[in-house]
Amino acid sequence: MSLEVIPSIDISEGKAVKRIKGQRGSGLILGDPLRIAEQIYSEGYKKVHLVDLDAAEGVGNNEEIIKMICKEIGFEHTQVGGGIRSLDKAQKIANECSFIVLSTLPVANRETFEKIWSEVGKDKILLSIDYNEQGDVLIKGWKERRKIKVEEILSFDVYGFIFTYVPKEGTKSGIDESVKKYVNITKGVKEYAGGVSTIEDLMKLKVFGFDYAIIGMSFYNGSLRGVKVV
């Protein structure tokens, strides 16, 4: 079994950015998302993870840029998250990309989630479990904490799950090694994001049983750029 690397492009106000722990104004401003997506594709990456940070925070959206990345560059696998909280939006994005990424809805609006599950289809849905040190789930752009544990989200029947450890997101400080306790009780595709910085981190995730590692800061600063599979 191998673990594949998926670069991420986080978009805010029309620019690709890489925040630290999700904090607006922190981290890097990378520039034109389309140009960055073209570079990633030209370097041989076939998959990309896209996040509309403005939509996640309810302060706008970058849908047209994301649509262009999904439709025009050539990626065989695109996953899009950030602010998908209605059936209409879920259907629109699902028609443009390979997978939609949901995080807030299963926790905050079960009825709408079930409509999306029924209409869009479970095989188009990735659930991102964004969690903190206590294992509590964070929603609405990581700004709201719910007393819901990671394990409670794993019962949903979807294509796969993304475990996003928010305290290490954008820090390059290593993965959350306690995430391994969730792998054996997770059905479907398993992805991890948060703090991935070295080949050793990737090897640990591979041993834990993950299929994909989503990388951002360690990709853009060059430490893992070029690594595709371990």
Strands 4-12 and 212-215: parallel
52 catalytically annotated? no
Helix 110-120 / helix 87-94 crossing angle, nearest 10 deg: 30
Structure tokens at 32: 């034109």
Structure tokens at 10: 């986080």
130 catalytically annotated? yes
CA distances from 108 to 73, 100, 112 (A): 34, 17, 9
- Which of 54, 130, 176, 201 is labelled catalytic? 130
Residue with tokens 């964070």: 138
Torsional class of 114: left (φ above 0), alpha (ψ -120 to 50), beta (otherwise):
alpha
Strands 15-18 and 4-12: antiparallel
- Which of 10, 54, 176, 201 is labelled catalytic? 10
State how far the Cα of 153 lies from the Cα of 47, in Å rounded to an integer: 25
Polymer length in residues for the chain: 230
Three-state helix/strand/coil letters over 102-128: ECCHHHHCHHHHHHHHHHHCHHHEEEE
Contacts of 36 (CB under 8 A, 6+ apart): 9, 16, 30
| Residues that are catalytic | 10, 130
